[in-house]
Amino acid sequence: MEEQHKKILQQNRTNIVIDLDPSGVYDALFQKGVFTQDMIDEIKSSGTRRDQARQLVRDLETRGSRAFPLFLESLRESGQQGLVEILLNGAPTVQLQPAVPTVVRPIVQPLPIITDSSVDIGKQSQDIVPSYPVERPNNSPSPTPDNGHLKPRPPDRTRRDSLRCYKMDSSPCGHCLIINNAEFEPGCVLSDRKGSNIDCDKLKRRFMALNFTVEVKTNLKQKQIIHELSALSRKDHSQYDCCVVIMLSHGTEVRHSRFPGAVYGVDGQCVKVQNITNYLNGQNCPSLQGKPKLFFIQACGGEDRDIGFEVSPEEAHPSVGGEDDQTDAIPTSSSSDSLSTSDEVDARTSLPTPSDILVSYSTFPGYVSWRDTRAGSWYVEILDRILEENAATDDLVTMLMMVNHEVSQNSAKGLYKQMPGSFNFLRKLLYFQTSA
């Protein structure tokens, strides 16, 4: 497909996902040779109508230069003229050219060639056999139909777009538990987390907009955190498609064999992230088997401060942050050796393969996570905005990559940096529900 047509599809992806009725164009796209029947069956199996629309657009961009005008023609035939007008608004004139027929050339066998040099080698000269003109095969490429038209992908090539999507159409989609620890008990070394309530309010509104049932628990001790996670694991999630846990607290490094890090209760006692995820795994919560379990951790991964490294002018961006930036780190005697050589080896050799779990960390393990006392944490602020702007068109992993990039551009006090990341054990693409 030509780049100008790809750009049109990409710019209007949201409208296509919302308005397109894929079932109305399947037959036409098959008859016109844009898709094979196997491709159409694959699109149909991708999930809801919106999921199918997303998959159709992705596959359409991989077809030939005739794919875009044939798609418009199919939309007209199915009565989806409004979508045609949206796609043609400001687009260059599209003229449908007939496919170039394949040229069948005869196979030419060359005659033997004998040179006119003498073959007399101590023998009597022989009559010279005249040479005949020979038609040489033409090695230049002959005209063929457009490379993408009716040409299936090589069978040995893994298609990124062949990834299936999680079912995400239940209403509500699932439970979302937010644990917001902002005020810590006197006597422990943990300071109050100013700005955490702003984070909590943002994420509560965001996941309600994504059709989750949101429950907020505030200022929990270690045992209370464990109690809430245990209660969540005992719920019947059979009617739901997903489950989300969000932890807003101080954090630290701990020795681990699966997921790094730990978050603190307001009593100064921590809960390991790997234990938090265990409550919702397939063994402890059977009704969530095969369904995505998402964990968002806004807490420090340690006490190291990243001062970054010098980049080229093309990578440089204005810094964000100021004197009100604070960290969610706590000095701990165990943090300096929590990533010891023995622990790294143990983590690699015993790392399980938990399915359908994604843990998103606000910062790289071992480093602090920055929070503005007036605007909330960098990570949550950007995560909330990326979800608002892109959830209708992009999958979760793609959006988290956007979050990583934008947070990495910030600077605290003009010096310190932050790099979010995730441990991803999802098996499929995940698209949230969004309002039309």
> Catalytic residues, which ones?
250, 300
- In angstroms, rounded to a whole number, what is the distance separating the alpha carbons of residues 245 and 397? 17
The beta-carbon contacts of 386-391 under 8 Å, at least 24 apart in sequence, are 387/206, 387/210, 387/432, 388/206, 388/209, 391/210, 391/431, 391/432, 391/434
How far is the CA of 394 from the CAs of 44, 84, 341, 401, in angstroms?
A: 19, 22, 38, 11
Tally of residues, the chain: 436
CA 271/CA 266 separation, integer angstroms: 11
How many angstroms separate the CA atoms of 110 and 413, rounded? 79
CA–CA gap between residue 285 and residue 4 (Å, rounded): 48
Alpha carbon distance 83, 72 (integer Å):
9
Are 172 and 240 in contact by the 8 Å Cβ rule? The answer is: yes
CA neighbor of 252 nearest in space, from 276, 266, 271, 237: 271
Token digits of residue 157 = 């090539």
Cα separation, 13 vs 29, whole angstroms: 19
Give residue for tokens 């199918």: 52
Distance of alpha carbon 298 from alpha carbon 381, whole angstroms: 11
Cα atoms in the Cβ-side hemisphere of radius 13 Å centred on 142: 10
Q: Rounded CA gap, 232 and 217, in Å?
A: 12
Judged by DSSP in three states, 298 sits in strand
